[in-house]
Amino acid sequence: MQLTRYSDFSLRVLIYLAVARAPLSTIEEIAAAYGISRGHLMKVVRHLSALGYVETVRGRSGGLRLAREPVDVNVGEVIRRTEENLALVECFRGEGRCPIEQACLLRRALHMALDAFLAVLDGFTLADLVSRRRAPLARQLGLQPLRGPGEP
Amino acid sequence: MQLTRYSDFSLRVLIYLAVARAPLSTIEEIAAAYGISRGHLMKVVRHLSALGYVETVRGRSGGLRLAREPVDVNVGEVIRRTEENLALVECFRGEGRCPIEQACLLRRALHMALDAFLAVLDGFTLADLVSRRRAPLARQLGLQPLRGPGEP
């Protein structure tokens, strides 16, 4: 059981933008900071933009930035919207291939487990992920962060 | 995010054996009941046997049966032992490829979410999955179940 790279990279892009606090960041910078392919990131950023998490500014000095405050980006919501397939097992997809689908309580147990998984993530915002760690995250991403109020 | 077919089939085999209550069932029967490949099931059954969930009896009139009472088969434990990869994201595998691994709180949030997921499944045994549904499950699997005490 794994999240797709797509969700993983989506969250990493949001973390980068929340830590950077620069007016604009570029896909090249983010790709270099994480050591991941620019091509992958292009798709991720396009989707994050369509979902309203990221704003892109075109042109030579263009780039991207968060479209919302980090406190308004819910981690559970991001996972729900970027993870293409939360169908833990075949029968979640409603294809009706498993003969015991109607009577099976495993399905119900797995739905309860998935709800519990997402409920934990619904308790976190992007701000929770970065606020107390901005300085070390920025160092690890090779960024010079603007300092927030009260931050060392 | 999906469970592997391996975990899914493992649970289906255990459900079949718990519903069948026959002295011995065969891989052929189980494969036919679920419409899945015999080859896949062979591997699954070998592993369930190595894990102590299933007993196999060799010989012409051989077959397989549960090695434990259904009430002693915990669903969370089965998932933990059959799901090869519970590393939701790259950094769970400890490969150290993500530069923000040390400061990242996303990892902690995902660990909490996974713990919540498994905790729900720890609350179910194989007996919970089948006891109140034995008759419809048996019908759907093409089985004639032995009736338990107090069951219709």
- List, for residues A98-141, the tens digit of each pLDDT value: 666 666 788 889 989 999 999 999 999 999 988 777 777 788 77
Q: Do residues B101 and B89 make contact, with C-beta atoms less than 8 angstroms apart?
A: no
CATH T-level fold of B5-85+125-140: Arc Repressor Mutant, subunit A (1.10.10)
Q: Is the ipTM of this complex over 0.90?
A: no
Contact B86 A1 (CB under 8 A): yes
Shortest distance between the Cα of B57 and any Cα of chain A, in A, equals: 26
pLDDT for B135: 78
Residues of A with Cβ-Cβ distance to B136 under 8 angstroms: 102-103
CB A125 within 8 A of CB B105: no
Q: Which two tokens mark A59?
A: 């042109």
The pLDDT, as a whole number, for residue A151 is 52
pLDDT(B10) > 90: yes
Q: How far is A43 from chain B (nearest CA, A)?
A: 19
What are the structural domain ranges in chain A? 5-140
Hey, are the CB atoms on B3 and A118 less than 8 Å from each other? no
Mean pLDDT for all residues in chain B:
84
Q: Quick one: three-class SS letters along chain A?
A: CCCCHHHHHHHHHHHHHHHHCCCCECHHHHHHHHCCCHHHHHHHHHHHHHCCCEEEECCCCCEEEECCCHHHCEHHHHHHHHCCCCCCCHHHHCCCCCCCCCCCCHHHHHHHHHHHHHHHHHCCEHHHHHHHHHHHHHHHCCCCCCCCCCCC
Mutate one of B120, B122, B128 to test the A interface: name it (highest A CB count within 10 A).
B120
Buried/exposed A41-63: b ≥16 CB within 10 Å, e otherwise: beebbebbeeeebbeeeeeeeeb
Q: How far is B30 from chain A (nearest CA, A)?
A: 11
Contact A129 B109 (CB under 8 A): yes
CATH class in words for A5-140 = mainly alpha
Task: Identify from B100, B128, B140 which residue to disrupt to test chain A contact, counting A C-beta atoms within 10 A and taking the largest count.
Answer: B100
* Interchain pair A136, B12: CB under 8 A: no
Residues of A within 8 A of B102 (CB-CB) are 136, 140
Cβ distance B2 to A130 less than 8 Å, yes or no, reads no
Most confident of A6-10, A83-87, B49-53: B49-53
Contact A103 B8 (CB under 8 A): no
User: Would you say B138 and B144 are in contact if contact means Cβ atoms under 8 Å apart?
Assistant: yes
- Using the beta-carbon criterion (under 8 Å), do A15 and B117 form an inter-chain contact? no
pTM comes to: 0.82
Tell me, what's the pLDDT at B8?
87
pLDDT at B83: 87
Chain A residue with Cα closest to B119: A113
Distance from CA of B22 to the nearest CA of A (A): 18
Per residue in B92-126, pLDDT (tens digit) is: 676 667 666 666 788 889 989 999 999 999 999 99
pLDDT at A34: 86
pLDDT for res B2: 79
Mark yes or no for CB contact A88/B136 under 8 Å: no
pLDDT tens-digit map of A50-107:
999 999 998 888 899 999 999 999 999 999 998 877 777 776 676 667 666 666 788 8
Average pLDDT, integer, range B47-62: 92
Task: Summarize the confidence of residues A28-57 as an average pLDDT.
Answer: 92
What is the pLDDT, as a whole number, of residue A75? 94
- A117 contacts B116? CB cut-off 8 A: yes
Chain B hits for A97, Cβ within 8 Å: 35
When CB atoms are compared, the residue of B4, B33, B114 closest to A117 is B114
For A32-52, what is the mean pLDDT? Answer: 91
Q: Which of A87, A120, A129 sits opposite B105 (nearest CB)?
A: A129
